[in-house]
Amino acid sequence: MTRPLDRALEAELAAWERAGLRRTLPQPQGGAPLHDFVSNDYLGLSRDRRVVDAAREALERSGAGSGAARLLGGGLAGAVQGASGGEGDAARAERLLAEWLDEEAALLFPSGFQANLGVVATLADRGDALFSDELNHASLIDGCRLSRAKSQVFPHGDVAELERQLARARGARRRVVVTESVFSMDGDLAPLAALHEACERHDAWLIVDEAHGHALLGPHGAGAWAAAGLPNARQGSRPTSRLAARIVTGGKALGVAGAFVVGGRPLIELLLNAARPFVFTTAPPPAVAAALAAAIEVAREADAARARVLALAQRLAKELKRGAFAVRTVAPAAAIVPFVVGEAAATSALGRELATAGFAVGAVRPPTVPDGSARLRLVVHATNDEAQVDALAAAVVARARPKATSGVTRDGRSSRATAWFVVGTDTGIGKTVASALLLRAARRLGKAAYWKPVQTGDESDTAAVAALAQATPDELLAPLHHFPKPASPHEAAAAAGEAIDPAVLQAALTAAREERRGARLIVELAGGLLVPYVSGANPFLQAEWLARARPRLIVVARSGLGTLNHTLLTLEALRARKLEPDALLLVGERHAENAATLRELAGVAPLFELPRFEPLSGGALEAWLDQNALAEVLR
Mean pLDDT of 505-511: 85
Stretch among 103-112, 237-246, 548-557 having the lowest mean pLDDT: 237-246
In this prediction, residue 390 carries a pLDDT of: 94
In degrees and rounded to multiples of 5, residue 97 shows phi and psi of -70, -45
Q: Residue 349 is inside which H or E element, if any?
A: helix 344-356
In degrees and rounded to multiples of 5, residue 245 shows phi and psi of -165, 150
pLDDT digits (tens, 9 = 90+) for 379-427: 999 999 999 999 999 999 888 754 333 333 433 344 567 899 999 998 8
* Cα dihedral 421/424/428/431 (nearest 10): -30
| Cα torsion angle, 131, 133, 137, 138, sign | positive
pLDDT digits (tens, 9 = 90+) for 439-482: 999 999 999 999 999 999 988 999 999 999 999 999 999 999 99
> Which pTM was predicted?
0.68
* CA nearest neighbour of 247 among 231, 266, 263: 263
Candidates 103, 116, 137, 181; catalytic one? 137
How far, in Å, CA of 582 to CA of 602, rounded?
Answer: 12
In degrees and rounded to multiples of 5, residue 340 shows phi and psi of -75, 125
| Cα torsion angle, 57, 60, 65, 68, sign | negative
Cβ–Cβ < 8 Å for 100, 222: yes
Is the pLDDT at 84 greater than 80, yes or no? no
Query: Is 212 a catalytic site residue?
Result: yes
Candidates 202, 212, 431, 490; catalytic one? 212
pLDDT digits (tens, 9 = 90+) for 246-304: 999 999 999 999 999 999 999 999 999 999 999 999 999 999 999 999 999 999 999 99
3-state secondary structure of 300: helix
Cβ–Cβ < 8 Å for 183, 368: no
Is the pLDDT at 104 greater than 60, yes or no? yes
Pairing of β 418-424 and β 520-528:
parallel
Task: Give Cβ neighbours of residue 57 (< 8 Å, ≥ 6 apart).
Answer: 290
Cβ–Cβ < 8 Å for 549, 420: no
For CATH 3.90.1150.10, list the domain ranges present in the chain.
Answer: 303-405
Which fold does the domain 49-300 belong to in CATH?
Aspartate Aminotransferase; domain 2 (3.40.640)
Mean pLDDT of 343-350: 87
* Assigned architecture for domain 418-633: 3-Layer(aba) Sandwich (3.40)
Candidates 48, 89, 104, 180; catalytic one? 180
3-state percent helix, strand, coil for the chain, nearest multiple of 5: 40, 20, 40
Is the pLDDT at 537 greater than 80, yes or no? no
Mean pLDDT of 322-347: 74
* CA nearest neighbour of 55 among 32, 31, 89: 89
Mean pLDDT of 601-620: 90
pLDDT digits (tens, 9 = 90+) for 224-241: 999 999 988 664 455 679
Mean pLDDT of 55-59: 95
In this prediction, residue 239 carries a pLDDT of: 61
In this prediction, residue 330 carries a pLDDT of: 53
Length of the chain: 635
Task: Give Cβ neighbours of residue 102 (< 8 Å, ≥ 6 apart).
Answer: 222, 226, 232, 234
Candidates 163, 186, 209, 371; catalytic one? 209
Cβ–Cβ < 8 Å for 273, 262: no
Mean pLDDT of 71-100: 78
Instruction: Give the confidence band of 635 by pLDDT, cuts at 50, 70, 90.
Output: confident
152 vs 2, which has greater pLDDT? Answer: 152
Query: Is 102 a catalytic site residue?
Result: no
Amino acid at 441: A
Cβ–Cβ < 8 Å for 336, 39: no
| SS3 sequence of 254-302 | CCCCCEEEEECHHHHHHHHHHCHHHHCCECCCHHHHHHHHHHHHHHHCC
Candidates 111, 116, 184, 488; catalytic one? 184
How far, in Å, CA of 416 to CA of 88, rounded?
Answer: 53
In degrees and rounded to multiples of 5, residue 503 shows phi and psi of -65, -40
How far, in Å, CA of 576 to CA of 605, rounded?
Answer: 19
DSSP state at residue 251: S
Cβ–Cβ < 8 Å for 420, 492: no
**603 CB-side CA count, 13 A:** 22
Query: Is 94 a catalytic site residue?
Result: no
For CATH 3.40.640.10, list the domain ranges present in the chain.
Answer: 49-300
Cβ–Cβ < 8 Å for 393, 316: yes
Strands (E), 318-358: 336-342
3-state secondary structure of 518: coil
Strands (E), 518-633: 520-528, 532-534, 540-541, 552-558, 583-587, 607-610
For CATH 3.40.50.300, list the domain ranges present in the chain.
Answer: 418-633
Query: Is 452 a catalytic site residue?
Result: no
Specify the CATH superfamily of domain 303-405.
Aspartate Aminotransferase, domain 1 (3.90.1150.10)
How far, in Å, CA of 43 to CA of 95, rounded?
Answer: 22
Pairing of β 532-534 and β 540-541:
antiparallel
Query: Is 209 a catalytic site residue?
Result: yes
Query: Is 137 a catalytic site residue?
Result: yes
Candidates 40, 373, 384, 488; catalytic one? 40
Mean pLDDT of 365-378: 84
Strands (E), 38-126: 81-82, 85-86, 105-109
Cβ–Cβ < 8 Å for 609, 595: yes
Strands (E), 96-198: 105-109, 129-133, 150-154, 175-180
Candidates 150, 214, 252, 452; catalytic one? 252
pLDDT digits (tens, 9 = 90+) for 3-39: 888 887 887 788 777 767 787 887 776 666 899 999 9
In degrees and rounded to multiples of 5, residue 36 shows phi and psi of -80, 110
Mean pLDDT of 150-162: 90
